[in-house]
Structure formats: C-alpha cells, structure tokens
Amino acid sequence: MRTTLLAALILAASPVSGWAAPSATASAVQAPARASPPRGSSWSFGILGDNRDDPDSVFPAIVQRIHADADLVFVLHLGDMVRNGGESQLRLFLKISAPIRGCFFPAIGNHEVRRDKDRRDFKAALGLKSTSYSFTYRNVHIAVIDDASQEFSDGVLNWLRADLETHKKGLNGIERVFVAMHIPPEGYGVATHVEGDKAARFDTGSRALLELLRAYSVDAIFAGHVHGAQTVDVTGGPRLVISGAAGAPQGWTSTPMYGYHRVTVSGAETRVDFVEVNNDQHAPVTSASSHQATCPVIDSTYGG
C-alpha cells in the first residue's frame, strides 16, 4: 500500500463522530500487506458496505481512494457486494475490489444469499471457512456475524457469547471490542426492511443481541444494509455506525452521498470519519511503504 495519505483525502474526510472508549499471518483474502504503524501510535481501518448495483458507477473510485489511504491496516466490508449472489457476480466484485483486498474482512449480506449454495460460493470466493468469525489486531477485537437471512440465530448468538467471553476487555491487551454485521439490529430507529413472519423473530433476536453486547461492554456495532452513512446513539449503547454508502442506490435523494468510513484508534479514543467520494475522484497512487505488516489472524469461526 502507500506511504502518505493524500491531502485531498484529508480535506474530503468530514468528521461524523468520536468517542472515548472504556478502559497476525492470515486473512480472509491474502494479498500484499498494508503498512504497520509503530506500536503505541494511532492506527486506522476502513469500513464500507452496499456497493451492489452502483447506478452512479462510484464504487471503483471508492476502491481507489481506499487503496491510496496508506494508513488503513485492514478493510471491513459490511455486505451487499453483489445484486443476486452467485459466482459470476462475485468474480466481478473481486476484480473491481482487488486493490483494497490486502487485508480484507467481509460480512455476508442479504443480497449475497438468494439460493442454498450461495453461502458456499461466498466463502469460496472470499477465502473464508465461515460467514461468522472474529479476529484481533493490537488492542481491538472484532467479531463478524452472519445475519443475512434476517435473523440472529441461537447458534450465532451462542458462538458470539463464547467469543466475547474469550476476548474480554482487559484480557490479553484488548481495550476495545466491535461487532460487525450486515443488517443492523432493531432498536436504533433505522430501517431494517425485515417484514412478515421474520419481523417478530428478528425483533426478539435483536433484543437478545443488544443485551449480550451490553453485557460485554461492546463499543460499537458496524452495519450496512441502510444505503447511507450515519451514527446512532442509544441509552446503554453500543453506538451504531451505518456504513452503506459504497454505491448502492440512494433513491430518496437527488444528491447521493457516497464513500466509506475511517475508524482511528488512538489512546482512549476511537474516532469515526466519513470520507466522501464522487465517481470522478480517482486518487493518484504514491510510492509503496517501506513498512510491511501481516494481516490479523482469524481467531475463531462459527458455522455458515
């Protein structure tokens, strides 16, 4: 990856929020590694989601901007990479996203799951053993869970509980814990589009999930599904960061806002910035960093 964060990128990054948080050789897809920050310094990772359809052809520009952001240790994609799942669409996604898949951790979205075999195709294409998994980098632990079928199953919740118990804050240097998924849980006032006979089950699962996350003082949920960028706070937490602005239709507005989020961990604070990208903004590439890092290792997996 690259040595400097371009001045244009810095100017484009408008702060969404920041908050004070309480007091590696394999990846989902292996490729050339990103630069490693000196221990004790701040470090950053990228999150994005929902690039499917891409009516304004902005996703390639977002990929190039992330590629030029040398400070990002890894990238977390929150799902809905394709419209209807399947191998051919996933191949196209992999081709377009290749510049950012050095350290790349995906969550599966509902648009990736249309047939029984779609989860198998997704895992094969993205190099995953499971669609629910976790990993740790420095002082941060991240669990990625599969809720693409519009439910928080007992199996996933039981696995998540065990994973959070194993990776508690204060244990083995972990100071912050995040949980990522495609569909945000109920309780935040955002549209989950879960209807019919699944709605009651999703609501019950959401309440169980939030109870679990609060019990383990999880700092934030990262989710897509909603085609936009926002943060939501509720009493008792955790904070919800919606990053679903990587190209999917934003039909409710005549001026869509596309881009990705940049999460920076520094001391006792975690800062989240939204980097807005237009389809005519293709960041130039600078020289490669002399520092090389290994991608975080996937610690544990569950089913899927």
pLDDT tens for each residue of 112-152: 998 878 999 999 999 999 999 999 999 999 999 999 999 99
Question: Cα–Cα distance between 102 and 39 in angstroms, integer?
Answer: 20
Taking residues 167-196, what's their average pLDDT?
95
pLDDT value of residue 9? 34
CA 56 to chain centroid: 22
pLDDT tens for each residue of 17-69: 344 332 232 334 433 344 445 556 799 999 999 999 999 999 999 999 999 99
Query: CB 265: neighbour CB atoms within 10 A?
Result: 24
What band does 282 get if pLDDT is binned at 50, 70 and 90?
A: low
- Percent of the chain scoring above 70 in pLDDT: 82
Arithmetic mean of pLDDT over the chain = 85
pLDDT tens for each residue of 79-88: 999 999 888 8
Taking residues 176-201, what's their average pLDDT?
95
pLDDT value of residue 284? 52
| Position with higher pLDDT, 115 vs 3 | 115
Query: CB 87: neighbour CB atoms within 10 A?
Result: 13
pLDDT value of residue 40? 61
SS3 249: coil
Query: What are the backbone angles phi and psi of residue 172, rounded to the nearest 5°?
Result: 55, 35
Question: Cα–Cα distance between 79 and 254 in angstroms, integer?
Answer: 24
pLDDT value of residue 31? 39
- Does the pLDDT of residue 183 top 60, yes or no? yes
Q: Which of 132, 133, 129, 167 is nearest to 149 (CA)?
A: 132
pLDDT tens for each residue of 254-265: 899 999 999 999
pLDDT value of residue 142? 98
